[in-house]
Amino acid sequence: MKAIEIKKDIYWTGVKDWNLVEFHGYLTPRGSTYNSYLIMDEKITLVDGAKHYLSDEMVARVKSVVDFSKIDYVVVNHVEMDHSGNMPVIMKLAPQATILTNAAGQKALSEHYDTEGWKFQIVKSGDSVSIGKRTLTFVTTPMLHWPDSMVTYVKEDKLLLSNDGFGQHYAADSIFVKDLALDVVCEEAKKYYANILFPYGMQAEKAVDGLGGLDIEMIAPGHGCIWSGKKEVETIVNLYNYWASGQNKGKAVIVYDTMWGATATLANAVMEVFQDAGIPVVKRCLTHTHISEIIPDFLDAKYVAIGTPTLNNEIFPRVAGFVTYMKGLKPKNKKAFAFGSYGWKPGVVNQIQKVYEELGWETIPPFEEKYTPKSDVVERLKEHVKTMID
């Protein structure tokens, strides 16, 4: 297992998790990577770790360049276990090393691991540490997406080691975006942002603003592929600016499930209204599409319609799961509508309506129908949906 040089004397020492199929409740069909980086300078520095079960592979990559006994610093940008899971192994191999992290990082490490005997140097946002020819500058990015999160900037190499920011769950033959299909990498970056960072748009905006004064020509994230060159860096930074802003492209997204086709009929009618109005619309049935594949649609959507059949006087389970997942991600600035069908007890759509209200969305009253909707019901629904369109 050999390290890969990404800049002169700076190496990728991470691992690829080809078999990862799920992370934090969302599908990762392309796997992932847990990236760490080794900086060879007067003070040899290792930045971030890996999941515990892939530790041996990461250790081998580091050893292909230098022995752990010669490492001076270990930077912990983020304590979540996909980045710090093998920290006990690293510190056992390099007990002489000093951990560079912020106060929240030290606290989180001590809450996850036995840190007795570990040496810490606490850094604050804007602090710099000289490692010889290079200077490491730290910018804290709290709640993007843990309290301890920060990034490390290597001024002399115009390199940003961004941990969870700008990453993707994507394992590929190459570790560089330039060697891959850009649209695929951006799709995975969008999915990552939507399913992990969506609730933290304000923090993402602050983080991007905080990096505005830095001259960056390479972004090496904690997951996925490395953005190299001004054009690639500009591409992903602009995407983050857009996603974090809460702006949208005016499209509509319809999410529903169905038991005997009644709710599907209503969903088709809702879709027709948006299509007739010239509004781009996607329709996602939860029977066939995983919740995590739908959430990226919410980044671009202005209009949201969620439909459910009634089962045992409750929201259909897959719809309930989606609504719970979506609520936790806290999309903003939507116009929404709840619809559904029932057999003998109406009213479950009000549970969806309540979530809309908790999120602060603009809404129109819910619509539901008993059993199979006839043509006159479909027409009434269409007229109702038109009232939500600007």
Judge contact between 155 and 137, C-beta under 8 A: yes
What string of DSSP letters covers 129-155?
Answer: EE-SS-EEEEEE-TTSSSTT-EEEEEG
Backbone dihedral region for residue 158 (phi beyond 0: left; psi -120 to 50: alpha; all else: beta): left
- Are 223 and 168 contacting, i.e. CB atoms less than 8 angstroms apart? yes
| Residue 169 among the catalytic residues | no
Which among 22, 24, 67, 358 is annotated as catalytic?
A: 24
Catalytic residue among 80, 157, 300, 369: 80
Q: Say how far apart CA 101 and CA 127 lie, in whole Å.
A: 11
Active site annotation includes 362? no
Task: List the catalytic residue out of 192, 200, 240, 356.
Answer: 192
Determine the distance from the C-alpha atom of residue 152 to the mean position of all C-alpha atoms in its chain, rounded to a whole number: 19
Neighbours of 64 (CB within 10 A): 14
Catalytic residue among 82, 157, 232, 300: 82
Name which of 277, 263, 252, 246 is nearest 360 in CA terms.
246
Exposed, middle or buried, 363 (CB in 10 Å: 0-12/13-18/19+)? middle
Active site (annotated) includes residue 192: yes
Q: Which of 48, 164, 232, 257 is catalytic?
A: 164
Taking the C-alpha atoms of residue 295 and residue 124, their distance in angstroms, rounded to an integer, is 34
- In this structure, which amino acid lies at residue 39? I
- Find the catalytic residue in 26, 157, 170, 223: 223
Tokens for 239, please give them: 């995407």
Q: What is the identity of the amino acid at 208?
A: V
SS3 260: coil
Could you give the CA distance from residue 309 to residue 177 in angstroms, rounded to a whole number? 43
Catalytic option among 26, 78, 188, 240: 78
Which residues, other chains included, contact 209 with Cβ-Cβ below 8 Å and sequence gap of 6+?
Answer: none
Among this protein's residues, is 41 annotated catalytic? no
Nearest 5°: CA angle at 11, between 99 and 171? 100
145 is a catalytic site residue: yes
Contact 229, 178 (CB under 8 A): yes
240 belongs to the catalytic site: no
Residue 140 token pair: 């804290």
Give the residue numbers marked as catalytic.
24, 78, 80, 82, 145, 164, 192, 223
